[in-house]
Chain A
């Protein structure tokens, strides 16, 4: 069974860079060309926001509202992908989920449990 697990600091200072890693187990991140690997976030008490996705080939697609601050990368030997969001503010505080995106059916079919990141000094 495919499993995804987010990891990273739970507290980040304003203006610094938020960094998270998602480790995939139970399957290879490069097992099929139809899968992308993505990030979605959810501010406390609010709805889901699509952040971006990456293919194991390195192809990326980002939310335009975060472009310029966002970098998603993949490390296929480690079976991991990562998110870096720079110049964070309190508005970036959220639960961050990593998920697998199925490009054939255009949906997020496997999700991590999520990790809370708070931006505060």
Chain B
């Protein structure tokens, strides 16, 4: 299983919206509604932000939303805030009881 493909970095200004893509294949992202997204601040453990492609855990800001089209899932953050600056990782079920992460995207809030 190859890692899912994410852009190395994205940037945005406070108040703007950004979208991070996560591209897989028809064997993982495209086959299941089981993409999750994690936020990781430096030196900290990842935090679940989105699950099952589009659902948000309780306590996560509604500025975070997930979507999917074909083999590409996306995380959108609206109303960017300085505290959103972090690394973001997608993860998908890949069949045969295997899960695969994306390579990660560094979000810079300018």
Contacts and interface: CB of A to CB of B under 8 A. Distances in A.
B47 interface: yes
A97 interface: yes
Nearest to A110: B48
Interface of B: 1, 3, 32, 34, 36, 38, 44-48, 51-52, 55, 57, 89, 91, 93, 97-104
A61 B47 CA distance: 22
Contacts of A108: 36, 38, 46, 48, 91
Interface in A94-121: 97, 102, 105-109, 111-114
Contacts of A106: 32, 34, 36, 51-52, 93
Contact of A61 (B38, B51, B55, B97): B97
B98 A63 contact: yes
Contact of A64 (B36, B46, B98): B98
Contact of B46 (A61, A63, A97): A97
B65 to A, nearest CB: 16
Interface stretch (A11-19, A21-29, A47-55, A77-85): A47-55
A47 B3 contact: yes
Interface residues of A, number: 21
Contacts of B103: 47
A47 B101 contact: yes
Given A50-B101, A107-B91, A111-B45, 4 more contacts: A50-B100, A106-B52, A108-B38, A112-B45
30 contacts: A40-B46, A40-B101, A46-B104, A47-B89, A47-B102, A47-B104, A48-B38, A48-B89, A48-B104, A50-B101, A61-B97, A64-B1, A65-B1, A97-B45, A97-B46, A102-B51, A105-B51, A105-B52, A105-B55, A106-B52, A107-B51, A107-B52, A108-B36, A108-B38, A109-B48, A109-B57, A111-B46, A111-B47, A112-B45, A113-B45
